[in-house]
Amino acid sequence: MKKSTLDLPGLLASLDPGAGLAQRHLWLIHLAEWIRAAEPSVEGAVQRVKQIVEAFEADPEALARLRRWSQTLMETVDITALLADFGFAPRTAMASEVAERLRYKLLPSTPETEDASELFMLVFPERFDARWLHALDSQLMARITTLLTPQQLEEGVSFWERNLLDAITYCAGQILSTGFAPELRLRMSEQAREEKPFHALIHDVENLRVEVMLPLRTTDRRDAAAAQLRERLEACRAAVSSVYSYVEAEGISVGLIFRLRQVRARILRIRRLLDCLLAEDRAYETSELLSNLVAVGIERRSVRALMSTNSSLLAAKVAERSAETGEHYITRDGSEYRKMVAKAAGGGLVMAFTTLAKFALYALGLSVFWSGLAAGFNYAISFVLIQMLHFTVATKQPAMTAPAMAAKLKDIQSDGSIQEFVDEVAHLVRSQVAAILGNVLIVFPGALLLSLGYAYLVGHQALSTPHARQVLDSLSLLGPSVLFAAFTGVLLFVSSLIAGGAENWFVLRNIDSVIRYNPRITRFLGTGRADRWASFLRKNVSSLASNISLGFMLGLVPAFAAFFGLGLEVRHVTLSTGQIGVAVASLGWEVLHDDLLWWAVAMLPFNAALNVGVSFYLAFRVALRAHNVSGVDRSRIYKAIRQRFWRRPLSFFWP
């Protein structure tokens, strides 16, 4: 929309209460633009508001036109809807709400509207508007109110009071309907269900309405009714909050989060409306309300804010469940360290077979997609087999251990707690070193021996000489492998999110109980087998989801990237080491004198560091946000870690 170039006299002259709907609203939009000015400042905006007020006070004819214009505005648009519903999403599905917010961004609204919310967003589209509205003092707001005050209603209640009451009633009705929703009511605490705070909410609102609208009302009875309503709202808030104790143990959904946040926000809105209705300094509270509505409107249009708000609790559950798993991947003494090496060695042996199977599938000459799908099945089966055999793959650990480390940051206050955290960092790094060494030191000789055995049995090498050299060249430090290794770290992180989300969905839907007790399932499996399957899946659903998703991402992401001509590959350190072993077996010992081999070997430490580092960093950031960790003096932590490294460097590698 083109900005107005009118000055203050021009704005006063252009005010026409008899103009069409769009023109009347455009005048208000242009007025707000003039207040903001080209270079906005809060002080300047407040001064321009004073100029407007003084201009209308000094011009009776213009003031009369302003009051007719204001009266027409109040009769045309529904102020109640603005006060009660502005900023609240009408949709419970987040996907549809995202689509609606994208529409706001891509398709501007028209001033030719009777929707007060639409008009409000057109008049106050910027965060700056909230700042200057907040800066309006009580005296100035009182003068503005005097300029715009419509006639009194029959009951003696002002137009503004009536709309505030209607807005409170509307909000209370929305809270009531949400509080009676089955998905919330069934998850409330037993005490909340017994107290039934939502049942009497509308009754308390009507009591307040009667006390406010009575011609001979007294402030003590009105205040008592307001206090009762506030107490009822607090009880409703407590009932809603009790749902969170349920989801801590049983999981959560985006839809449930949406409802919880909506009802809590509406309770806050009623409190703000009550402040505006009952406050002695009503002018000040009105400016506060308008400022808040502007801020709410900005959030209402933000896709980023929606995603952030509705994903925070879900991220917390993902992080929390990953943290529980991550604790098992941190070794703290020599015995646990040796067990980790042994588990990683077993994982390396399985990955040696996986590597050989990868080249066997390549020899089939499948198309890019089917080759990627076959590779995905190969990786997924291998990862699941490693899980079933209680082995481990090093690169899968960081995304699981990061939430466990982030949770420990919440309790860091003293020097002693910082040292304990540094101990945990040393334990974590040591565990990763053990796992990586266990994988790499076994997968290389394993893949080498398997390739030699294959050549002995079938009479030719697993890879042709050109193909083997191509494999080594693709793994070289001199090529783009560094970027590919970092990208693989992202996939490792994504698989941890999928794992946490899958477990959250599993417990939210009570799938283990379904498998254990559903008559159709028990008839098919038998009672004993159904119980065993339920227990197995409840214990392993997170790991299964992580392993299967990671396997298919490692296989299919390069295939999809190739479709778009991106040339994106994955570089998993254990698989890369196995590929080097197969290539060495195919080329013979002469390859030891070839720089191509040693550049590929030189890439392995970087491959491991990037796989581990990127996945850990991303998971750690999500976990910090999910656990609301803030105020931590990171410089003290970094200093303590550096001091530990200089004094006891071996503690990061050996128990």
Burial category of 240 from C-beta neighbours within 10 Å (exposed 0-12, middle 13-18, buried 19 and up)? buried
Q: φ, ψ for residue 651 (rounded to 5)?
A: -65, -20
Handedness of CA 92, 93, 94, 98 (dihedral sign): negative
d(Cα 414, Cα 161) in Å, to the nearest integer? 53
Question: Per-residue pLDDT for 245 more than 70?
Answer: yes
Residue 447: pLDDT band with limits 50, 70, 90: very high
The type of residue at 39 is E
Dihedral sign for Cα atoms in the order 103, 104, 110, 116? positive
Closest CA to 402 of 481, 465, 323, 483: 323
User: Region 211-233: what's the mean pLDDT?
Assistant: 84
The helix/strand/coil state of 137 is coil
Q: What is the pLDDT of residue 635?
A: 72
CB 586, CB 471: distance < 8 Å? no
- Residue where the block lists tokens 């969170």: 244
> 């809060």: which residue's tokens?
42
Residue 308: which pLDDT band, with cuts at 50, 70 and 90?
low
Residue 505 banded pLDDT, cuts 50, 70, 90: confident
Residue 181 corresponds to which tokens in the numbers above?
């929703």
What pLDDT is stored for residue 248 in this prediction? 53
- pLDDT mean over 425-450: 87
Angle at 77 between CA 49 and CA 266, to 5 degrees: 85
Q: Which pLDDT score, from 0 to 100, does residue 153 have?
A: 42
Residue 349 confidence class, pLDDT cut points 50, 70, 90: very high
Q: Which of 526, 562, 513, 535 is nearest to 371 (CA)?
A: 562
What does the chain come to in residues? 655
- CA 30 to CA 23: how far, in whole Å? 10
Q: What is the pLDDT of residue 162?
A: 87
User: What is the pLDDT confidence band of residue 358, given thresholds at 50, 70 and 90?
Assistant: very high
247, 402, 403 from 324: Cα distances, Å: 16, 11, 8
Phi, psi of 314 (to 5 degrees): -65, -40
Segment 410-424 mean pLDDT: 69
- Contact (CB, 8 A) for 374 and 361: yes
Range with lowest mean pLDDT among 165-169, 300-304, 470-474, 477-481: 300-304
CA distance 160 to 163: 5
Residue 328 clears pLDDT 60, i.e. is over it: no
Compute the distance between CA of residue 379 and CA of residue 202 in angstroms, rounded to an integer.
59
pLDDT of residue 2: 43
Share of the chain above pLDDT 90, in %: 33
SS3 of residue 565 by DSSP: coil
Task: Report pLDDT digits (tens) over 7-61.
Answer: 888 888 899 988 999 999 999 999 999 998 866 788 999 999 999 999 999 998 9
* Comparison of pLDDT for 655 and 70, the residue scoring more: 70
pLDDT of the residue at 285: 84
Neighbours of 131 (CB within 10 A): 17
Which token pair is 549? Answer: 């998703």
- The identity of residue 97, as a single letter, is E
What does the alpha-carbon distance between residue 577 and residue 10 come to, in Å, rounded to a whole number?
A: 77
Quick one: which H or E segment has residue 614?
Answer: helix 595-626
Reported as a single tens digit per residue, the pLDDT across 134-185 is 888 888 888 888 888 754 444 456 788 888 999 999 999 989 988 888 878 8
User: Tokens in use for 427?
Assistant: 């334990």
Contact assessment for residue 281 and residue 138, using Cβ atoms and an 8 Å cutoff:
yes
Mean pLDDT across 568-593? 92
Phi-psi category of residue 331: left, alpha or beta, with phi > 0 → left and psi -120 to 50 → alpha: beta
Is residue 243 within 8 A of residue 261, CB to CB? The reply is no
Rg over CA atoms, the chain: 33
Least confident of 216-225, 410-419, 462-471, 571-580: 410-419
Q: How far apart are CA 609 and CA 580, in angstroms?
A: 18
Kindly indicate the confidence band of residue 346, based on its pLDDT and cuts at 50, 70 and 90. very high
Query: In this predicted model, what pLDDT tens digit does every residue of 613-634 receive, in sequence order?
Result: 888 777 777 666 655 555 556 6
Q: What is the DSSP string of 306-343?
A: HHHHHHHHHHHHHHHHHHHHHGGG---SHHHHHHHHHH
Q: Is the pLDDT higher at 645 or at 90? A: 645
Buried b (16+ CB within 10 A) or exposed e, 181-192: eeebeebbeeeb
User: For the ranges 1-15, 84-98, 394-408, 470-484, which has the lowest average pLDDT?
Assistant: 394-408
Q: pLDDT tens digits, residue range 52-79? A: 999 999 998 999 999 999 989 988 888 8
86 or 321, greater pLDDT: 86
* Helical packing angle, 254-278 and 159-179, nearest 10°: 150
The residue ranking higher by pLDDT, 169 or 427, is 169
The whole-number pLDDT of residue 396 equals 62
Q: 493 Cβ partners below 8 Å, 6+ apart?
A: 399, 614, 615, 618, 619
pLDDT greater at residue 228 or residue 497: 228
Residue 314's pLDDT band (boundaries 50, 70, 90)?
Answer: low
Average pLDDT, the chain: 83
Work out the number of other CB atoms within 10 angstroms of the CB of residue 31. Answer: 21
| pLDDT at 448 exceeding the cut of 90 | yes
Place of tokens 């209308």: 56
Show Cβ contacts of residue 570 under 8 Å, excluding neighbours closer than 6 positions: 484, 487, 488, 491, 554, 557, 558
Question: For 520-533, what is the mean pLDDT?
Answer: 91
